Amino acid sequence: MNIPVIAIDGPSASGKGTVAERVAATLGFHFLDSGALYRLTALSAMKHGVALDDEAGVAALAVKLPASFRDGAVWLAEENVTDAIRAEAVGDGASKVAALPAVRAALLDRQRAYRQAPGLVADGRDMGTVVFPDAVAKVFLTASAEARAERRYKQLIEKGNSANLAALVADMQARDARDTARAVAPLKPAADALLLDTTHMGIETAVQKVLAHYDLCKAHSKQGN
């Protein structure tokens, strides 16, 4: 497929979503927040009383997930759940349902459907390894668990939510362990991914590094053709 994809993967709160969104805006590309689909699936399961370890039940919800991204908001059917899917409990639930092979299979085609002209920037945990293995440019963003927990802490406090930094660090570490150890599509950099540690890196610097990497990959791709 000739539609270019930039795949940006990494653990929770590594900055990949913000970086991916800004890269997409700069290039005029579409943007896929794949994590939102897993968060929506977890939220849907919670609303329907389906246990998060009920693989068949959660997968059935994922197949028919009435999710949409419009007007700068995230919707589940006709409910604006932009803030609801960012709750820590939903994020933890997303990590759990993402470990279920049937759920990942149910969401695979939905994610690939976002690949539309003129291009796509996709952010997640397996964009470069599983969903778009032919992406023209692949990036893996990471940061220390402490730095990521501090970022999440600030986000929660700014929104008026209570938060405990030590608990967030523990949650990050547990989520990382679950995401990297799962049998299907574990969190790991693609062999040809650019590794960016954002522990001490600003968002704008990361954006510029991704754009430069894309230009380099695009040039190599043309030479190869």
Indicate the annotated binding residues for ATP: 10-18
Pairing of strands 137-142, 194-197: parallel
Q: How many CB atoms lie within 10 A of CB 140?
A: 24
Give the distance, in angstroms, between the CA of residue 211 and the centroid of all CA atoms in the same chain.
18
* Cβ pair 19, 203 in contact under 8 A: yes
In this structure, are residues 52 and 45 in contact, taking their beta carbons and an 8 Å threshold?
yes
Euclidean distance between CA atoms 58 and 160, whole angstroms:
31
Binding residue numbers? 10-18
18 CB-side CA count, 13 A: 13
